[in-house]
Amino acid sequence: MDEDKVLKILEAFKKLRILVVGDIILDRYIFGRVERISPEAPVPVVEVEREEFRLGGAGNVANNLSSLGVKTYLLGVVGQDYGRHIIKGLLRESNIEDLTVEDPNRPTTEKTRIVALSQQLLRIDFEDKKVIEGNVLRRLLEGLDLELDGVIVSDYAKGVVCKELMDRIREKGVFFSVDPRPQNKSLYIKANLMTPNEKEAKSMLSQEDSLQEMGWKLKRELKLNTLIITLGPRGIALFDRDFKIFPARAKQVYDVSGAGDTVVALLTACALSGLDWDVACEFANVCAGIVVSKLGTATVKPEEILQSLEEGCRV
């Protein structure tokens, strides 16, 4: 694939309207330096130098789409706390349509990571994983009433993805893809695309099988149109009409956080743009290779894709 074809794909992305629905996470990074051990306990003392906030979970999927020109909507649940204000600000900065629903009875899901010397020392999670219900669920379902080309379900098992939500998405009759969690396996029946990693795929089955056996069995059991299993440094496995593995394109793996978000975003956009799965998998591989070279949840920009082509990372 040459530069002209990549530019045509990116231009096609600009015509898409995609809704991302699922668990929105506020990723907070506290960066500092460590020069001593605490006299109070055998732990390092981190002297804070700066902090960053990023869109995580379903927010990172939406951010990956928007960064490549897709008209993107984000639907999920936030609390009535300071976290919601940060998320709303990040959505405005990223040109993502904000369809978030506030729940006064739960906090905004937040993952705080302490980083020093480019290493994560600790992660602190603030979350409530109860399944949403009542008025919050009703408002969430109302948020699906949009004219769309497709829907991405980003499930981090924090309570947003439930039977009522998935039933309503299927009723819409549009292309929908799922980045799954094994415990919610039964909710994903008849998805157009599902993108588990290898560990998640294994957890969805009751016995150990080879990769091919596992993939075909999962595709058949959930009546999926297409199954794509991400294999980390080994690449991507496609189960459509045939089985095929696409080797990874990463030159340097720094942090795999959020790589699955990038893959499901790119594969969905490619499918909705009419690309065949071979091209879609190669394109997603290139983009995933770019984001794993960055620290934390990250997006890929058009100029980075074009630079990868120049450097010989051909799609």
- Residue 78 identity (one-letter amino acid): V
Tokens 């894709």 locate to: 305
Q: Can you give the chain as a three-state secondary structure string?
A: CCHHHHHHHHHHHCCCEEEEEECEEEEEEEEEEEEEECCCCCCEEEEEEEEEEEEEEHHHHHHHHHHCCCEEEEECEEECCHHHHHHHHHHHHCCCEECCEEECCCCCCEEEEEEECCEEEEEEEECCCCCCCHHHHHHHHHCCCCCCCEEEEECCCCCCCCHHHHHHHHHHCCEEEEECCHHHHHHHCCCCEECCEHHHHHHCCCCCCCHHHHHHHHHHHCCCCEEEEECHHHCEEEECCCEEEECCCCCCCCCCCCHHHHHHHHHHHHHHCCCCHHHHHHHHHHHHHHHCCCCCCCCCCHHHHHHHHHCCCCC
- How many Cα atoms within 13 Å fall on the side-chain side of residue 227? 28
Contact 218, 193 (CB under 8 A): no
Contact yes or no for 86/60 (Cβ under 8 A):
no
CB 132 within 8 A of CB 114: no
Q: Is 261 a catalytic residue?
A: yes
Instruction: Please identify which of the residues 27, 103, 155, 261 carries the catalytic annotation.
Output: 261
The two tokens of residue 306 are 């074009």
Give the closest residue to 45 by CA, choosing from 32, 57, 58: 32
Q: Active-site positions?
A: 261
